[in-house]
Structure 1
Amino acid sequence: MGEVIELRAGEFLARVDRTGAGLRALAWRDRDIVWPYGDEGPRAFQGQVLAPWPNRVGEGVYRFAGTEYRLEVNDAATGTAIHGLVHDREWSVEEVSDDAATLRLDFGGAPGFPFPLELVLAYRLGGDGLTLTAEARNTGDTPAPFGLGFHPYLTLGEPLSVLAERGDLTLEVTAGTRLPVDDRLLPAGDPVPVEDGRLDFRTPGRQLGDTVLDTAFTSLERDGDGRAWVRVGGPEHRVSVWCDRSFDWLQVFSSDTLGGSDRRAYLAAEPMTCPANALASGTDLIVLPPGGATRHTFGITAEALPRP
């Protein structure tokens, strides 16, 4: 693995990996609030930057500007190309301070995605947690398709399954609709309301229980700062992911398909600019003209909960 950058501010500590610009670790009051990884590298895309597309592309095939492209299928179970092309690249370090780091990748394109991009990712740690701002610029001479996501797994220090069995695990997702999917986790129709359903997590304090999630939520409901939220609460504290208006989707994954002790141990809360198969469907796909750029911000925070 590549060089690790350590950031500190207030009660938070973060470790950032030059390989993939991934979030290796994030701790608050000396406890992990994301599932960390070490020199062995990430599992299940933990902490990774998902670009130039998040989620899946069916059969790895899409058409753009009249040309068909074929990506490498890297998820054999579903026959899809998953989570982009930058998680194993070495990013350069542009700036580092005690509480901030900026990394850059000049992505020259790849088989199935011949569109060069400049990617810049800024990590900032403060008293309110971690903020990540990503910028992408088309450095080619033709339009480029683009989508972005991030893949942090939230943890409360004990497996979700244990907390849920005790009735100590709550989930809030500020979203009004969800995307139906087929058995390959590709879209199977338009978004449907979550209202009054088992996947309606808009009410604070709702127990997760035994609900299984690998679900893309949209129609995001935002606070006064324009932020949509996923909040995971335990008996003592809460860990949350927020995203700005540039993200219209939140994928929430309860880790049920992971193996061994990782099964149902963490909750991935993934801000995405577009849903699965967006390269093929065009749904919320960003098209960058030559020289065009896009900017996206999300964050992770933690807070103590009042004792009952």
Structure 2
Amino acid sequence: MAEPRSGRQLRIAAHGYEADIASVGATLRALRFEGRDLVVPFDADEVRPGYRGATLAPWPNRIVDGRYSFGGVEHRLPLTEPERGQALHGLVAWSEFADRTVDQDRVVLATTIEPQTGYPFRVEVEVEYRLGADGLTQTVTGRNLGVDAAPWGTGPHPYLVAEPAPIADAAGGTGSAVPPVDGWTLLLPAAAVLTVTPDRLSPVALESVEAYPDWDFRTPRRIGATFIDHAFTALSQTGGSTTVELRAGERGVALTWDAACPWVQIHTADTPDDHATHRRGLAVEPMTCAPDAFNSGAGLVVLEPGAAHAVSWRIHAL
């Protein structure tokens, strides 16, 4: 039997949660709590839609023009977002990850970024998914296996679901004129937003959300028709952690992380030409660094030879 298009399939289950992990990109393909979807899923034998659920490393978000300087050397990366001329979401999203541990409630996968044009560093990327009573925790560890210091950043790319979306009809509609995201309530405890150019989404300036009321969700409110594809920072913490909540009535889903991720990208998944994906989930992407951090240095981790950097986040039902 041929292997599914998204790679080997690993299922873990515990405490009412069930997660499906695909080996290509160490991708979170599905996550359910008591049978309810918490992320937008996709089929095992499907080429993963974009970066849905993928692990992003050695950088999340964009490197403008695919160019950066590190250690006094200029580098140029492949433009993996050609329509915008950007290097998007790192180098492992389409890599095959090997199994290290496969248990009932935990899997560990790993791959190695080999030195290449634009990123001449050897870095191992290890990804752990673990289920507990508090939800699904993903931990990403970067280990520098090379002889030179390496720039590093990481983050996840789940599309959260507050409640299941209506099933698409034969004409491609959703059975409702209002996309699912529009009706959900968002809590985003961020005081600053990184504005971007409208055409390429290149960073412009860090500003207070008070100057952009449409993007101020420090008090929970309905998303409505608001378009969001921006990075936020100046995150409020409770007990050392930041939590983004997405609700439909009393139920919903949340993503929690600590100060190791001082940034979060939020995207309303606007694809008006594709009814099957348009605003059907909210991307919530904690990030260790800012967009274009390889140039700005904002949050950039420098992995010295032999050093490791680990960071975690947790998705849980409300």
Q: Into which bin does the TM-score normalised by the smaller protein fall?
A: over 0.9
Q: Are 2:181 and 2:282, in contact at CA under 8 Å, matched by a contact in 1?
A: no
SS at match of 1:195: helix
Counterpart for residue 30 of structure 2: 25
Q: Does 1:88 align with 2:94?
A: yes
Counterpart for residue 306 of structure 1? none
Unaligned runs of 5+ in 1: 304-308
CA shift in 2, pair 1:120/1:163, >3 Å: closer
Amino acid at match of 2:238: D
* Deviation string, structure 1 residues 16-46 (Cα, Å, up to 9, x no partner): 1111111011011112110112221211200
C-alpha distance in 2, partners of 1:259/1:71?
Answer: 29
In the alignment, what sits opposite 2:21?
16
1:216-227 counterparts in 2 under 5 A?
216-224=231-239, 226-227=240-241
Aligned match of 2:300 in 285, 291, 306?
285
Shift of 1:258: 6.0
Alignment pair present for 1:123 and 2:129: yes
Which among 171, 194, 204 is matched to residue 179 of structure 1?
194
Q: How far apart are the structure 1 equivalents of 2:179 and 2:81?
A: 29
1:272 aligns with 2:287: yes
Secondary structure class of the residue paired with 2:210: coil
Aligned to 2:149: 143
* Residue of structure 1 equivalent to 2:81: 75
Instruction: For 2:9, give the aligned amino acid.
Output: V
Q: Count the aligned residue pairs.
A: 298
- Separation (CA, whole Å) in 2 of partners of 1:41 and 1:7: 21
Q: Deviations over 1:36-75 (max 9, x none)?
A: 1222121120000110011111111111111111111111
Q: Hey, what does 2:165 align to over in structure 1?
A: 158
One-letter code of the match for 1:158?
A: A
Counterpart in 2 of 1:234? Answer: 248
Rounded to whole Å, the distance in 2 between the matches of 1:298 and 1:45 is 17
2:104 to 86, 95, 98: 98
2:169 is aligned to none
Q: Quick one: structure 1 residues 143 and 176, their matched pair in 2 at CA, closer, same or farther if it must change by over 3 Å?
A: same
User: Which residue in 2 is equivalent to 1:110?
Assistant: 116
The separation in 2 between residues aligned to 1:267 and 1:106, in whole angstroms, is 30
Task: Give the letter aligned to residue 253 of structure 1.
Answer: H
Q: Please give the alpha-carbon distance, in whole angstroms, between the structure 1 residues aligned to 2:101 and 2:36.
A: 27
Looking at structure 1, the residues matched to 55 and 233 of structure 2 have their Cα atoms a distance apart, in angstroms, of 20
Alignment gaps of 5+ in structure 2: 1-5, 167-175
Does the C-alpha gap of structure 1 residues 207 and 76 become closer, same or farther in structure 2, counting only changes over 3 Å?
same
How far 1:106 moved relative to its partner?
2.2
Cα distance in 2, alignment partners of residues 173 and 259 from structure 1? 28
User: How far apart are residue 151 of structure 1 and its match?
Assistant: 0.2
Within 2, Cα distance between the matches of 1:48 and 1:116? 20
C-alpha distance in structure 2 between counterparts of 1:29 and 1:41, whole Å: 27
2:179/2:279 contact within 8 Å kept: no
Query: In structure 1, what is the equivalent of residue 40 of structure 2?
Result: 35
Contact 1:217 1:250 in 2 (8 A): yes
Does the 8 Å CA contact 1:107/1:119 hold for their aligned counterparts? yes
Q: Counterpart in 2 of 1:2?
A: 7
TM-score, L = length of structure 2: 0.90
The one-letter amino acid paired with 2:15 is: G
Contact 1:163 1:234 in 2 (8 A): no
C-alpha distance in 1, partners of 2:53/2:253?
A: 15
SS, match of residue 198 in structure 1: helix
Cα offsets for 1:113-150 (capped at 9, x unmatched): 11111111111011221001111111111110011111
Indicate how the Cα distance of structure 1 residues 279 and 130 shifts in structure 2: closer, same or farther if over 3 A, else same.
same
Q: What corresponds to 1:301 in structure 2?
A: 316
Task: Provide closer, same or farther for how the CA distance between residues 71 and 269 of structure 1 changes in structure 2, counting only shifts above 3 A.
Answer: same
Rounded to whole Å, the distance in 2 between the matches of 1:270 and 1:218 is 12
1:243 paired residue among 254, 257, 263: 257
Match of 1:254 among 268, 278, 284: 268
Could you tell me how far 1:235 is from its partner in structure 2? 2.6
Aligned counterpart, 1:193: 208
Identity %: 39
Cα RMSD, aligned residues only: 1.6
